[in-house]
Structure 1
């Protein structure tokens, strides 16, 4: 009877790891060597992911990495597209063994445990998007999203992050992120980290948005106060 119970528990746990989707956002609190509280946020969209760490109190950006991902059993396989700690890893494939339940994600052989923030809802823009065009002076200027120079925005149900990088040169240009809402055609970002300008942490930016033929049309004022009108295409 005892053996049966053990086998039943093991089978259920294995089923949870295999069946539970990682789509959404996860967070962990890490204490640095100096005693600072760091926040690590991991966003999983369909086929793409980004992991970022920043100071929980000040929003100071520390590092980010990400790219494509696939889960088989209890192993996440990542193809790195950007990595601020080690650009030479861009283009490399790495495997991460995990143990997961509905609300917890633990990296095996590590003390880091992530708690679920959301499961990809309620945001209607969840997924990975690439900047594919701008409208300037009424003229639409499209961008080839297949080129190595990319600006990606990845969103869960409540979290967002944009990253500018080049997979060919392995160059990282910048990133920023935080929380977002989509209410009555208005998209609002609240910045929690910004690699280029830490003074922007804490501000909220409001934009109008529309989904037209599957593309995200985005207009308003940038963090610098400049008018922008962008077009984003969903990554396949």
Structure 2
């Protein structure tokens, strides 16, 4: 009887682990395309939102990206696209796919995703929308509910920013890679950049501070211009 109870406990524990699987964090998969090129896919999932970017693994040449709102249940992933660089007509569509989670890997269609992180150790996990800028010593706020958005989505080690318009379905640009947050310093290491592939491999350092739930981001832009941006965590 005791053995049976232990067995049932282990079975229910395993089932609970599967049902409670938290997909938040960064994931990667690799495929060979029709030209024989190894393509790297990186997805970031965080609290109801996701982005997926794909680029040539060898040199970071940008190939495409998509993303938007995200949910999952025991065996199905569902997302509604807010941007799709390769096909604007997909914006607004909702898609569902079966998935399997086994031995730490996520199986979705032809892709096998390996976890890069679980939302740690970086301080900035979440989907953020730019909500203000400081000019002449004053912060000017902007409405984040409009169709034109600049979103930056971060896991514990990966980041991606995307500029897009949900109304016109326009995609204006993206970039991403790895990041660290150490002693008030936020450092980006660029892994792909849709506007200029030559920027791949560059690093940019900024100051960061979390104030009243907002992320204050300051320093010099890639063009050497001073910037001070305010980002607010996305709720919907």
Deviation at 1:139, TM superposition (A): 2.4
For the structure 1 residues 149 and 101, does the alpha-carbon distance in structure 2 shift closer, same or farther, using more than 3 Å as the test? same
Normalised by the length of structure 2, the TM-score is 0.92
Quick one: distance in 2 between partners of 1:218 and 1:171? 26
Structure 2: state its 5+ residue gaps.
Answer: 1-7
SS in 1 for 2:99: strand
**Which aligned pairs between 1:1-236 and structure 2 lie closer than 5 A?**
15-101=16-102, 103-107=104-108, 110-236=109-235
Quick one: distance in 2 between partners of 1:100 and 1:12? 15
Partner of 1:3: none
Quick one: distance in 1 between partners of 2:136 and 2:185? 22
Quick one: distance in 1 between partners of 2:99 and 2:38? 23
Give the conservation status (yes or no) of the 8 Å contact 1:16–1:102: no
Deviation at 1:167, TM superposition (A): 0.5
Residues 3-42 of structure 1: CA distance to partner in whole angstroms, max 9, x if unpaired?
xxxx999977754442110000000111122221111001
Pairwise CA RMSD of aligned residues?
1.8
SS in 2 for 1:199: helix
Residues 75-104 of structure 1: CA distance to partner in whole angstroms, max 9, x if unpaired?
111111001121111111110111113620
Normalised by the length of structure 1, the TM-score is 0.92
For the structure 1 residues 111 and 225, does the alpha-carbon distance in structure 2 shift closer, same or farther, using more than 3 Å as the test? same
For the structure 1 residues 83 and 11, does the alpha-carbon distance in structure 2 shift closer, same or farther, using more than 3 Å as the test? farther
Deviates more, 1:150-159 or 1:77-86: 77-86
Structure 1: state its 5+ residue gaps.
Answer: 1-6
SS in 2 for 1:80: strand
Deviates more, 1:33-42 or 1:172-181: 33-42
Residues 173-209 of structure 1: CA distance to partner in whole angstroms, max 9, x if unpaired?
0000000000000000000000001111100000000
**How many residues align structurally?**
228
